Amino acid sequence: MDTVNDSDNEHNRLTDPELVFQTFELPAGDGRQITVWRSANLDRALRAAPILIAPGFGRRMSAFSPLAHYLALNGFEVIRYDPLDHVGSSSGDMVDFTMSTSLESMRIVADWMLNERGFDGIGIVATSLSARVAYRLVSTMKRIRFLVTAVGVTNLRSTLENAFGEDYCPWALDKLPKYVQFEKQHQIDTARFHQDCTEHDWWRLEGTVEELRDCPVPVVTFIGSEDTWVRESDVRAAFDGSRSGSRFIYTLAGSRHYLGHNAAIARQFFREITRASIMLNEGLSDLGEIEREPSFSALTQQSIHERRLQQPAFLTTSMQSSP
């Protein structure tokens, strides 16, 4: 990982531009809505393809504030969202989470970017479980220009077995526990999730291989060298089977599945995702160079602002004071 000396940090502190930040509510049917945030640096020309950031499982879009800041500072218009039936500001509760609803959430936001905001094409950045969703979306949806994933799930059955300590895939619905818990705080309706995975072919590694095989979209993925939930062999099986589109695999040295466990690893993640996005946007053959890094103070201020936005008390006060 490259280092930035104190004089570079001081330069950034003095010259950090103020990013444009906007919120939107997208209709998702049946009175439900998806909350979307937009960030952009208008001090420079925007790059051709805006980027859609899909949050990892159990993570709010505010957790990706630093990544959005890195990308926006380096010329990308950045769109983030909280999926339906997930943690965050969009409709639904995580107990009802399914892979197919996650896919529909990503599709709604991508459609909005392409058809309502009028972009010719978009890039997608997805981590963990949202990467598995993104692999399916890019195989079926036109005008996605590129995909960048990190610690991306390719074999859902294997990953969930490692995460929960049990392979629930072969279980009959009436034998399943009513709920499983993720990180001791998020309950998931097991039968609902299981049925969706079975009916819509989410379990299999072979499904990911088939979806990526003839997908013309260039894809970069980053493997965590210490990730115990996503096996490198599964990632390589999904990528090596491609007959169309460029595929790039890089390793995040020292990284576990949770990218935020170490500040140095997190910073490496922000830098490498930005470099990969520049490479694919510009049509380069190797990782591009970032133009600049945000200062620590800019990242901290934006993160605090976004977390306040997702606090229930703040949201209630905002709605009551709206005209």
Task: Please indicate whether residue 128 is annotated as part of the active site.
Answer: yes
Catalytic residue among 90, 128, 130, 255: 128
Catalytic residue, chosen from 65, 257, 277, 295, is 257
Instruction: State how far the Cα of 306 lies from the Cα of 316, in Å rounded to an integer.
Output: 15
Indicate if 130 belongs to the active site.
no
Cβ-proximal residues to 79 (8 Å cutoff; 6+ apart), any chain: 36, 37, 38, 50, 51, 52, 53, 109, 113
- Choose, from 227, 234, 277, 295, the residue flagged as catalytic: 227
**The two structure tokens encoding residue 289:** 């160079």
* Active site positions, annotated: 128, 227, 257
